[in-house]
Amino acid sequence: MLKRIINQLFLIFGRPSIPRRPLTYYSTDILRKTLTEVIAEMLRTSCPCHYPRYRFLVTFNHKLYDTGPVSCAETNYLTSLATNEELNYLEQVGVSAGRPLGDYGDDIIYRCRKCSTQFRHVASQYSINFEFEYLIIEDIQFQQDVGCPLSLPMPLYQGLYGFKDGDILKCAMDFKLSNPNKLLKYLTCKL
């Protein structure tokens, strides 16, 4: 009975879509360049820690949606770039001291070079081809936001991936597929 009602609603309103595009070398390169520009822009005026939209995206974790594994490509790349020493944003200051949340031994602890906010880097693996990473804010040191407040749905360029469409759709309500310029403007928006 419930399934029939849901199918009728899909006929009336359309099926919800998963915000993602195929992973290609080209799309991945665009995402990397866009997110590098995002962090560089934020570092010009303060640091990414002062941007609520950045904090939301870099800490995306499917467990907060009570679903099975779902990965956000933007979160993976943003985390990877944030912990890259070349951008001079986060510096490694330690390890999780025996309480790892990820699947690769101790989680790495990073600190913002500008405001001293601390993050835990977590990397999880759900299959040989499905692993992802995100940050957890462990010690907030920034005082006042510079970036615009969070507004949903958040634009993504690459999107969400996972094993089950139902799990992805639970997370998808907070995101929409967009283009690199909208993602850049959204994340770097200032008050």
**What percent of the chain is modeled with pLDDT above 70?**
85
Residue 37 domain-assigned (yes or no): yes
Q: Are 181 and 30 spatial neighbours (Cβ–Cβ below 8 Å)?
A: no
- ∠ Cα 39 101 48 (to 5°): 15
**Separation of alpha carbons 25 and 15, rounded Å:** 29
Q: What three-state secondary structure class fits 90?
A: strand
**Separation of alpha carbons 115 and 60, rounded Å:** 21
**Separation of alpha carbons 89 and 186, rounded Å:** 20
Q: Is residue 4 scored above 80 in pLDDT?
A: no
The DSSP H or E segment spanning 10 is helix 2-13
Q: What three-state secondary structure class fits 106?
A: coil
Residue 84 C-alpha from the chain's centroid: 16
Residue 34 domain-assigned (yes or no): yes
Q: Are 185 and 35 spatial neighbours (Cβ–Cβ below 8 Å)?
A: no
As a whole number, mean pLDDT of residues 17-23 equals 80
Q: Are 88 and 75 spatial neighbours (Cβ–Cβ below 8 Å)?
A: no
Residue 88 domain-assigned (yes or no): yes
Residue 10 domain-assigned (yes or no): no
Structure tokens at 4: 């029939």
**Domain span including residue 39:** 19-188
Model confidence band, residue 102 (pLDDT cutoffs 50, 70, 90): low
Residue 4 domain-assigned (yes or no): no
Model confidence band, residue 14 (pLDDT cutoffs 50, 70, 90): very low
Query: For the chain, how many structural domains are there in total?
Result: 1
pLDDT (0 to 100) of residue 60: 92
Residue 44 domain-assigned (yes or no): yes
Residue 102 domain-assigned (yes or no): yes
Cα–Cα distances in angstroms (integers) from residue 29 to residues 23, 32, 72, 101, in the given order: 10, 5, 16, 29
**Separation of alpha carbons 20 and 161, rounded Å:** 7
**Neighbouring C-beta atoms of residue 172, cutoff 10 Å:** 22
Residue 2 domain-assigned (yes or no): no
As a whole number, mean pLDDT of residues 114-121 equals 93
Q: Is residue 7 scored above 60 in pLDDT?
A: no
As a whole number, mean pLDDT of residues 20-27 equals 85
For the whole model, what pTM was predicted?
Answer: 0.86
